[in-house]
Amino acid sequence: MGDSESRKTEIFINGKTRTFDVDDPDLPDWVEEEALASGNFPYRKKLSKKKYEKELYDLQKELVKVQYWLQATGGRVMALFEGRDAAGKGGTIAATLQYMNPRSARAVALSKPTEKERTQWYFQRYVEHFPSGGEFVAFDRSWYNRAGVEPVMGFCTPEEHRAFLKAVPNFEQMIVNDDIHFFKFWLNIGREMQLKRFHDRANDPLKTWKLSPMDIAALNKWDDYTQKRDQMMLETHSGQAPWTVVRANDKRRARLNVIRHILLHLQYDGKDREAIGEIDHDIIGQGPDLLD
């Protein structure tokens, strides 16, 4: 990449100004050393691949049972996955849906709204993707774009942001009242971990599509995103539609505990409680308690 397209950035982090070049093939030592522990992550080693694959296999067998149960009963499941860029939303959704029938288990990842959609009720383009009977739908980002990305990047007005936060609790209460099994996950990562994942994407030809110009533009807006995240949690976390926060520096632990959480909250036929295992409360919890 030429100098005219350089993505080298000065970042103020942990009381120091650091130079971060996402395109330099060598990851800076200060990122590598701090990534896993960033954001108060409680573990100093990732879960082993062998243990992860064994536990994931057991959980995915349970998810297949969930799908049969939904088809038999007409039940509906909807899960929102939110978090900063590179938090692991897409990978968690992929692990969840991997062995479910795609005819009735699907991911929704919407692009920016069209000119027509901008004239509609804000929630309208999301509602058309809600689950029908027997379906399991996972949103890779959702209407909560208006709680974080849009106000931080200037894509909505302060008035639109305030109106959104006021409307969300009633909107989500309607979802719950209609007997949809509704989950909201916030995948939380530390700042150095985000930088590491950006670097991985920029230097892997199979992942470069994941790194957008907006990701680079947001590198120095960490605190702005944090403020909007905390406001979102305060105003949209409720007993009926709670936020489940997941410490996601270790993708393996995050995925396992997200799936466990879903399985434990569904009363499906043939449920194998032993196979599901125990929630790691250092990784996942309700509300903002696990946020850095």
- Give 70-107 pLDDT, tens digit per residue: 999 999 999 999 999 999 999 999 999 999 999 999 99
> Does pLDDT of 1 surpass 70?
no
What domain range is 28 assigned to? 3-290
Q: How far apart are CA 162 and CA 256, in angstroms?
A: 35
The pLDDT tens digits for 8-53 are 899 999 889 999 999 999 999 999 999 999 999 999 999 999 999 9
Model pTM score: 0.96
Distance CA 276, CA 217 (A): 40
pLDDT of amino acid 117: 97
The predicted pLDDT at position 252 comes to 98
Token pair, residue 208, equals 């470069």
CATH number at residue 101: 3.40.50.300
Q: H helices then E strands: how many in the chain?
A: 12, 8
pLDDT digits (tens, 9 = 90+) for 101-152: 999 999 999 999 999 999 999 999 999 999 999 999 999 999 999 999 999 9
Q: Taking Cα atoms as reference points, which of 81, 87, 79, 67 lies closest to residue 135?
A: 67
Tell me the per-residue pLDDT of 148-192, one tens digit each, with 9 for 90 and over.
999 999 999 999 999 999 999 999 999 999 999 999 999 999 999
Q: How many domains does the chain have?
A: 1
Q: Would you state the torsion angle of the CA atoms of residues 99, 103, 106, 112, taken in this order, to the nearest 10 degrees?
A: 150
